[in-house]
Structure 1
Amino acid sequence: MVFKGHCLCGQVKYTVDMDAPLLTGYDHCDDCQRQSGSTYSLVVVCLKDKVTITGPTKSWAGKGSSGNDVHRIFCSECGSPIAHDPDAAPEIIAIKGGTLESEYKKTLKPDTEIWTVGKLPFCQEHLAKPFTHMPE
């Protein structure tokens, strides 16, 4: 099975040739919060040799908790984060779940939370006032 995704402007595209990700989870680390601009990053961990990324990307490397670099791959045109690629685990890459094609991301079932030490205290499963769209 192949699943696909792309950045906001559509210039960066990727395919993953795996039946299922190794894991799908919420990454609460401070770096992912900053990169996503949100409380966590939804990551879909895949084997790196099963992922093909095309288009204009840039990468920025910062130190991970292991002391090794974590390469954050993003679209050089629109800035959408695509993946992070940790040197400490060279066989895997963490695709940003929000960039998957809609038909696939709607089927995701997160099974893991990582870096819960960084989980913000107000993060909950359900909030009291859900809105289907932006309220008027």
Structure 2
Amino acid sequence: MPLTGHCLCKAVTYTAAVDAPIITGYDHCDDCQRQSGSTYSLVAVVPKASLTINGPIKKWTGTAASGNAVHRLFCSECGSPIAHDPDGAPEIIALKAGTLDTEIKKTLKPDTEIWTAGKLPFCQEKLANAFEFMP
């Protein structure tokens, strides 16, 4: 069953032709905190080639700590973040898991944390696969 989702206003929809994410995890980097407006961004990483996005997407490109570009995709209508696309890992894309269809996101089991160097002190949960920076 593919992974499907949409933005808040439903102008942007997407389908990832995979049965499950490669990784489901918490990204604690400062950029993801700012983009999500929360303590971390829950991401579902999928092969970029599996993803089809429909609708009015805008892109903002920033620079990762590695010096590589990170493209952040969002709905141009409602502003919902859809994914971040790191040039440092061109074969994958990280979907913002909160945009997955409700029944799909209910089944997610986060298994990885990245950028724990940016993890806020009041976030106590620690997953078995935790990386101080991007692995």
| Alignment match, 2:21 | 21
Counterpart Cα distance in 2 of 1:68 and 1:123: 28
Letter in 2 for 1:61: T
Identity across the alignment (%): 74
| Alignment match, 2:131 | none
**Aligned pairs (5 A) from 1:1-136:** 1-125=1-125
- Give deviations 1:81-117, integer Å, cap 9, x for gaps: 0000001111000000000000000000000000000
TM-score by length of 1: 0.90
Letter in 2 for 1:37: G
Letter in 1 for 2:24: T
TM-score by length of 2: 0.91
Letter in 2 for 1:45: V
* Per-residue deviation, 1:124: 2.6
- Give deviations 1:68-92, integer Å, cap 9, x for gaps: 1000000000000000000111100
Counterpart Cα distance in 2 of 1:113 and 1:68: 20
* Per-residue deviation, 1:120: 0.1
* Per-residue deviation, 1:66: 1.5
Counterpart Cα distance in 1 of 2:23 and 2:65: 20
RMSD, aligned CA: 0.6
- Give deviations 1:37-56, integer Å, cap 9, x for gaps: 00000000000000000100
Counterpart Cα distance in 2 of 1:19 and 1:6: 18
Q: Which runs of 4+ in 1 moved over 3 A?
A: none
Counterpart Cα distance in 2 of 1:92 and 1:65: 18
